Amino acid sequence: MNNAIETKITNKLYQLIKSAEIYGLRKIEKGSILKKKEFREIVEKWYARKILWPLIEPDLIFVFEDYSNKRGDRNLIAAVEIKFFKLSKNLDKELRQAYREFGQPLRNLIYGFDSVCLWHVFDENISEGKIKDYTTLIWDTIERLKLPQSYFATTLSPDKIKIFKPWEIVSNDIDYIIRGFKGMLENKQTPFDFKEVKEYRDAIKVALGIP
């Protein structure tokens, strides 16, 4: 992300989630962990592939317990892209631009992640009517195209998170919110099962330090 505010929002979410005891969440990391030497060495030396940065650097990476045994290691590894919208005279322009880019998280499926999500965080000063109209547009587009991508839309304040998609609730219970978040990711997992994806996933696991 180039936007300093988005970096701040991402750091805030990271600290909020990392400091909480959340059932089923094994790990949360910033995407920059994929710059680790071990990840690059595995991909480039073991699998003879060139890393094209920043192609696989999501904002946040979640690792949840997954007992479906789809991949044999009981991990659900998810990549999350975060976009923040601030109330400004350019808001409508920024919303249109973001709509053109809403499929950005899909690229992470090619590079070994089990599930991907776009997380839109809105300034609390933006009208709820505008937020609901816009998030419904994004949600409907993803669902009608049957894209293997989750969508999460919220506002964020010091004492609560208001969720607009995929549900409409207000809560200060981060454990409850992230457990629901996990369920959303479980329902939209990667359709890819070829050799290259599995190899990237193994390299991601090494970078994250998970078995």
pLDDT band at residue 159, thresholds of 50, 70 and 90? confident
pLDDT digits (tens, 9 = 90+) for 42-79: 888 888 777 655 467 899 999 999 987 677 889 999 99
Angle 130-2-166 from CA coordinates, rounded to 5°? 35
Pairing relation of β-strands 115-122 and 150-157? Answer: parallel
First-to-last alpha carbon distance for the chain, in angstroms, is 29
With a cut of 50, say whether residue 125 has pLDDT above it: yes
| DSSP code per residue over 96-139 | HHHHHTTTGGGHHHHTT-SEEEEEEEE-TTS-HHHHHHHHHHHH
3-state helix, strand, coil in the chain (%, to 5): 45, 25, 35
**What is the C-alpha separation between 201 and 176, in angstroms, rounded?**
28
* pLDDT of res. 49: 76
Contact 210, 63 (CB under 8 A): yes
Provide the edge-to-edge strand list for the sheet that holds 75-85.
25-30, 60-65, 75-85, 115-122, 150-157, 160-165, 169-171
In the three-class reduction of DSSP (H, G, I as helix; E, B as strand; rest coil), residue 61 is classed as strand
Mean pLDDT (whole number) for 103-128: 95
Mean pLDDT (whole number) for 171-181: 94
* pLDDT of res. 69: 67
* pLDDT of res. 48: 77
Mean pLDDT (whole number) for 14-24: 94
With a cut of 80, say whether residue 180 has pLDDT above it: yes
Which one is predicted more confidently, 160 or 52?
160
**What is the C-alpha separation between 155 and 126, in angstroms, rounded?**
9
* pLDDT of res. 57: 87
Question: Which pTM does this prediction carry?
Answer: 0.92
pLDDT digits (tens, 9 = 90+) for 137-147: 999 999 999 99
With a cut of 90, say whether residue 84 has pLDDT above it: yes
Residue 105, CA distances (Å) to 3, 72, 128, 159 in order: 17, 24, 25, 28
Q: How many residues does the chain have?
A: 211
Which one is predicted more confidently, 134 or 3?
134
Mean pLDDT (whole number) for 193-201: 89
Please state whether the peptide bond connecting residue 191 to the residue before it is cis, i.e. omega within 30 degrees of 0. no
With a cut of 50, say whether residue 1 has pLDDT above it: no
